[in-house]
């Protein structure tokens, strides 16, 4: 795995343009969007970890990571974000992350003071990026 924290990899994958789009959606600036990304990545991975220790959760997470490791490298950059990369962060891994989005949105909203609906919208943009980064990490460890 990479020595860089997951949050840094997600921010790099997200890029300045998409970060600015997220900031506009949230009604904040790029720094506010970066803070939301940091809080969201931490919460998403925390919820996934919690889910993994529930009955069946570990098996589902393992299947998602195995599937991600076997999938081709998703499209990145503007092409992947603009709908051309429909598989970007797709598959079971993104499904697992989406299951964690509701508790993540509530936790991040509570920490940041942003409305849950705004955080949920930002997570919709963020989840495919997080899934892409996790899939890339899974391929590197394979």
pLDDT in tens, 30-75: 999 999 999 898 888 776 655 545 555 555 555 555 665 565 554 4
Backbone dihedral region of 21: left (phi > 0), alpha (psi from -120 to 50 degrees) or beta? alpha
pTM for this entry: 0.69
Q: With contact defined as beta carbons under 8 Å apart, do 41 and 61 qualify? A: no
Q: Given a cut of 50, is residue 5 above it in pLDDT?
A: yes
From residue 23, give the alpha-carbon distance in Å to each of 42, 84, 111. 19, 22, 17
Q: Given a cut of 60, is residue 12 above it in pLDDT?
A: yes
Q: Given a cut of 50, is residue 1 above it in pLDDT?
A: no
Length of the chain: 142
């Amino acid at each position: 795995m990479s020595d860089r924290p997951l949050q840094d990899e997600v921010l790099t994958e997200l890029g300045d343009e998409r970060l600015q789009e997220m900031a506009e959606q949230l009604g904040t600036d790029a720094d506010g969007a970066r803070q939301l990304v940091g809080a969201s990545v931490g919460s998403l991975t925390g919820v996934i970890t919690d889910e993994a220790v529930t009955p069946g959760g570990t098996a589902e997470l393992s299947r998602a990571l195995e599937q991600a490791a076997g999938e081709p490298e998703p499209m990145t950059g503007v092409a992947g974000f603009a709908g051309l990369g429909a598989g970007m962060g797709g598959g079971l891994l993104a499904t697992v992350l989406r299951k964690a989005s509701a508790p993540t949105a509530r936790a991040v909203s509570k920490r940041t003071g942003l409305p849950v609906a705004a955080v949920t919208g930002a997570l919709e943009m963020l989840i495919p990026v997080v899934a892409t980064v996790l899939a890339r990490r899974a391929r590197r460890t394979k």
